[in-house]
Amino acid sequence: MTDLQISATGGTAGRFALSRTGLLFAALGAAGLALPLVQFKPNRIVLGDALWLPGALPFGWLAAALIACALFAALPQRLSHGLRLALAVAGLVITLASLGLAAKGLMPEGNRMARVAPAAGFWLLFLAFALMAADALARMRPGLKTRWAVLAGGILLVGLALGSGLLDQTSVMVEYAARADLFGRSLRQHLLLAFGSLGMALVVGLPLGILAFQVPALRRAVLSVLNLLQTIPSLALFGIMIPLFGWVAANIPGAAQLGVAGIGIFPALMALFFYSLLPVVSNTLVGLTSVAPEVRDAAFGLGMTRGQVLARVQLPLALPVVLAAVRIVLVQNIGLAVIAGLIGGGGFGTFVFQGLNQTAMDLILLGALPTIFLALIAGIALDLSVEALSRRGRSAP
Amino acid sequence: MIRIENLTRIYDRTPVVNDVSLTVGAGQIAALVGTSGSGKTTLLRMINRLVEPTSGRIWIGETDAATIAPHLLRRRIGYAIQGHGLFPHRTVGQNIATVPRLLGWSAPEIAARVEELLHLFQLDPAQFRDRMPHELSGGQQQRVGVARALAARPEVLLMDEPFGALDPVIRARAQGDLREIQRRLGTTLVIVTHDMEEAVTLGDRIAVMDKGRLLQYGPPAEILTRPATDFVQALIGTGERPFRLLSLTRVADIREDGTCDGPAVSPESSLRDALAACLWHGRDCLPVEGGGIVTLTALRARAEGARAEAMATAGEGAQSKAPQTGGAAQ
Ligand SMILES: Nc1ncnc2c1ncn2[C@@H]1O[C@H](COP(=O)(O)OP(=O)(O)OP(=O)(O)O)[C@@H](O)[C@H]1O
Ligand SMILES: [Mg+2]
């Protein structure tokens, strides 16, 4: 993350020094301007016509010029991080507004078949400014509270951008409008899949990890079984669940009444649960074993019982490591839950696989974008929690 | 009081502590010395049953240690381990409050006790109570570790090389403080140390261990003048012997009437310090604060008297050593 000093006239050119990351973002942005902003398609399956930013909307040249200015202004190394962040946010707003306005202007009145889809140019511009914002934020070294605020602010901004109606005519939002109900249901199912499997993994994995810690003879066996589970490719694991639970539902009395089934949300939940077990169990074990022996010794020496040592000393000290597992599992499961769509488990995977079947990119995006967004939020929120906890506890040796 | 009877601990068929018997009187300090691996820590940890004895008995006061649940026994015995072992996720105050909380003291009682101990160890409560262990210096951590061990007013305190990590200056002060606190509270103390100097300074009695056996157990003067075996002799260090002997006596004890020039020495300082001061300032005598003098002649007489005693015992041969060791070990 060091900045490169590019000096025009020997040693006295500090004012002309360019930021290395700034150059990268500018290059990305320039590529974005050079590529088409949107794709106009008479219907959702054909490829359609590419439109560049200057021609895609009424004041297109102005928008392109503003974007170029923002990229250029962020080049000097000595620019303050706050200003850089402001430029990045401005760039994001202009890029999004251009997309929305282009879609509004291009969509023929009353035509339900046509689509205005974001194209490579849009994605590159968006990426350039998003990276610039993240880079500037990271360099400001904000405290924990500020980072929570930034996360909340980011979520709020996305909400505003979608809620304002600005983007309503873009292809993904048109697909959304046609399926608002299904989207809501998929969101709930997706969250249920990710958080439900995590919850189950914690309920089973924490005690299992503690047990493996207390009974060293069990460790190897438990870990190798879980490792084996982890190596099964995800599609295969979901596939195995179908006949397995199908058989259970059919042959074990009462199982079907309890919701056990070969297809639907149950086998998907179980597959995700199996995937989550290893990180939870092994991190619990690692966290407990990494408690310094003299700390454990002192706890026993002062007269704590085994249970008290576990509850008051070992588990609290293992907590950051366990939370790291929660982070891994949650982010992993938010992503993997997409595959549930394949076996009728619901979630955003429903849109992704429908889209794949119909070769409708917009529909795939309708499933993929919110999945990425959820994973991002969960990852950041848990990183912040882990940091808060480790800061409170054992920062220095 | 601690009474240890024929205590043995065997690991892999090797006795690590071998048939050790000794008694530490109430309010006394016993210093356990010996080379690395001689079984000091194992012996100490058998007293609070962190290690279960293979055979033998331990009495804490009138209680047979084997008859109560280990965790209840340990709440009665303070334990300060090497490298302090503070809980890194708890504040200084919470660390000190550990045993009182286990014993179910009321919150105000605990708060008052924490305050009292922080004062005792010269840590300003307002400044230190809510700090985390990693925000303390090594010496402060060590003091908190000892304060935590003393929190529930245990009759018995076990310490395993508590001053190992400290620099010589702080270490000398910590030893002085410990001695004073121990006297004030009347705690019975067993302290493990590598350092003969520390054992001589602190111990009412010194127990010398080698390969799991207790070689000699007696007051410092006896260990210094009548070492039971060559090993004990080597441990003391022949060259250091006269100085160690002198360090056992205070200037006040050999003060004479008279006057002389030079910087005054404190009556509480040791003869060793007085000798050093005489040599350094090139004088045959020095004034003592509060009146009187200490002379080089008197210092030499002291050292010689001790030497004569040592030679006499050595001449008597082996027959005196056996009863002496056995007698001291009771
Ligand atoms: N749990 C154990 N299992 C096997 N051997 C042990 C165990 N604990 C201690 N020992 C052995 O017992 C011997 C005495 O160990 P101990 O820790 O009591 O020595 P020490 O006198 O305290 O040494 P140091 O001064 O280095 O701390 C050593 O040889 C050690 O290897
Ligand atoms: Mg030891």
Residues B167 and B134 in one domain: yes
Residues B216 and B261 in one domain: no
Q: What is the mean pLDDT of residues B178-184?
A: 87
pLDDT digits (tens, 9 = 90+) for B17-61: 999 999 999 999 999 999 889 999 999 999 999 999 999 999 998
Q: Which ligand is nearest to the CA of B17?
A: 1
Cβ of B40 below 6 Å from ligand 1: yes
Distance from C-alpha of A116 to C-alpha of A252, rounded to nearest angstrom: 52
Residues B220 and B248 in one domain: no
Residues B210 and B305 in one domain: no
Gap from B230 CA to chain A (nearest CA, Å)? 35
Q: Is A257 on the interface with B (CB under 8 A)?
A: no
Q: In the structure encoding, which two tokens stand for residue A363, read together? A: 């529909």
B285 located within any domain: yes
Q: Is B114 on the interface with A (CB under 8 A)?
A: no
Residues B19 and B166 in one domain: yes
- Characterize A69-102 residue by residue with b for buried, 16 or more Cβ atoms within 10 angstroms of its Cβ, and e for exposed: ebbebbbbbeeeeeebbbbbbbbbebbbbbbbbb
Q: What's the distance, Cα to Cα, between the start and end of chain B in Å?
A: 14
Q: Do B102 and A303 touch (CB under 8 A)?
A: yes
Q: Do B89 and A300 touch (CB under 8 A)?
A: no
Q: Do B98 and A392 touch (CB under 8 A)?
A: no
* pLDDT for the residue numbered A1: 43
Written as tens digits, the pLDDT of chain A (397 aa) is 444 444 444 444 456 688 888 899 999 999 999 999 998 988 877 778 888 988 888 888 999 999 999 999 988 888 888 999 999 999 999 999 999 999 988 888 777 788 889 999 999 999 999 999 999 999 888 888 999 999 999 999 899 989 888 888 888 998 898 899 999 999 999 999 999 999 999 999 999 999 999 998 888 888 888 888 888 888 888 788 888 888 888 888 888 887 788 788 888 898 899 889 989 999 999 999 999 999 999 999 999 999 999 999 999 999 989 999 999 999 999 999 998 888 888 899 999 999 999 888 889 999 999 999 999 999 999 999 888 887 765 443 3
CB atoms within 5 A of ion ligand 2 belong to B 41
Residue nearest to atom 9 of ligand 1 (CA): B42
Q: Do A393 and B89 touch (CB under 8 A)?
A: yes
Q: Is B65 on the interface with A (CB under 8 A)?
A: no
pLDDT digits (tens, 9 = 90+) for B266-278: 888 888 888 888 8
- What is the position in ligand 1's atom list of the atom closest to the CA of B38? 21
* pLDDT for the residue numbered B321: 37
- What is the position in ligand 1's atom list of the atom closest to the CA of B43? 18
Cβ of B14 below 6 Å from ligand 1: no
Residues in chain B with CB shorter than 8 Å from the CB of A305 are 71
Domain boundary among B201, B236, B271: B236
- For A306, residues 6+ apart whose C-beta sits below 8 A from its C-beta are none
- Strand B77-80: give its sheet, edge to edge: B77-80, B156-160, B188-192, B29-34, B205-210, B213-218
Q: Is the ipTM of this complex over 0.95?
A: no
The number of domains in chain B is 2
Domain holding B262, by residue range, is: 240-313
Residue nearest to atom 1 of ligand 1 (CA): B11
Angle at which helices A315-336 and A361-392 cross, to 10°: 170
* pLDDT for the residue numbered B64: 93
* pLDDT for the residue numbered A6: 44
B330 located within any domain: no
Residue nearest to atom 26 of ligand 1 (CA): B36
Distance from C-alpha of A180 to C-alpha of B104, rounded to nearest angstrom: 58
CA B18 to ligand 1 centroid distance, Å? 13
B201 located within any domain: yes
Cβ of B138 below 6 Å from ligand 1: no
Q: Do B87 and A301 touch (CB under 8 A)?
A: no
Q: Is the pLDDT of residue B319 over 50?
A: no
- What is the position in ligand 1's atom list of the atom closest to the CA of B34? 21
Among B11, B14, B44, which residue has the most ligand 1 atoms within 8 Å of its CB, making it the best to mutate?
Answer: B11
* pLDDT for the residue numbered A8: 41
Q: Do A304 and B102 touch (CB under 8 A)?
A: yes
* pLDDT for the residue numbered A245: 85
Q: List the single residue in B with minimal CA-CA distance to A392.
A: B89
Q: Do B134 and A301 touch (CB under 8 A)?
A: no
CA A99, distance to chain mean position in Å, is 23
CA B40 to ligand 1 centroid distance, Å? 8
CA B42 to ligand 1 centroid distance, Å? 6
* pLDDT for the residue numbered A14: 56
Distance from C-alpha of A146 to C-alpha of A150, rounded to nearest angstrom: 6
**What CATH code is carried by the domain that includes residue B103?**
3.40.50.300
**What CATH code is carried by the domain that includes residue B271?**
3.90.1280
* pLDDT for the residue numbered B324: 39
Cβ of B34 below 6 Å from ligand 1: yes
* pLDDT for the residue numbered B326: 38
* CA angle, A145 then A148 then A151, to 5°: 150
> Per CATH, is A180-395 categorized as 3.30.70.1280?
no
Distance from C-alpha of A149 to C-alpha of A380, rounded to nearest angstrom: 12
Q: Domain boundaries in chain A?
A: 3-168, 180-395
Q: Is A307 on the interface with B (CB under 8 A)?
A: no
Q: What is the mean pLDDT of residues B157-164?
A: 88
B128 located within any domain: yes
Q: For testing the chain A interface, which of B89, B98, B158 should be mutated: the one with the most A CBs within 10 Å?
A: B89
Q: Do A397 and B134 touch (CB under 8 A)?
A: yes
Q: What is the mean pLDDT of residues B157-178?
A: 82
Which among B74, B85, B88 has CB closest to A317?
B88
Residue A109 near residue A174, CB atoms below 8 Å: no
B7 located within any domain: yes
pTM beyond 0.90 = no
Residue B254 near residue B271, CB atoms below 8 Å: yes
* pLDDT for the residue numbered A47: 78
Q: List the single residue in A with minimal CA-CA distance to B89.
A: A393
Distance from C-alpha of B65 to C-alpha of B69, rounded to nearest angstrom: 9
* pLDDT for the residue numbered A204: 95
A172: how many CB neighbours lie within 10 A of its CB? 22
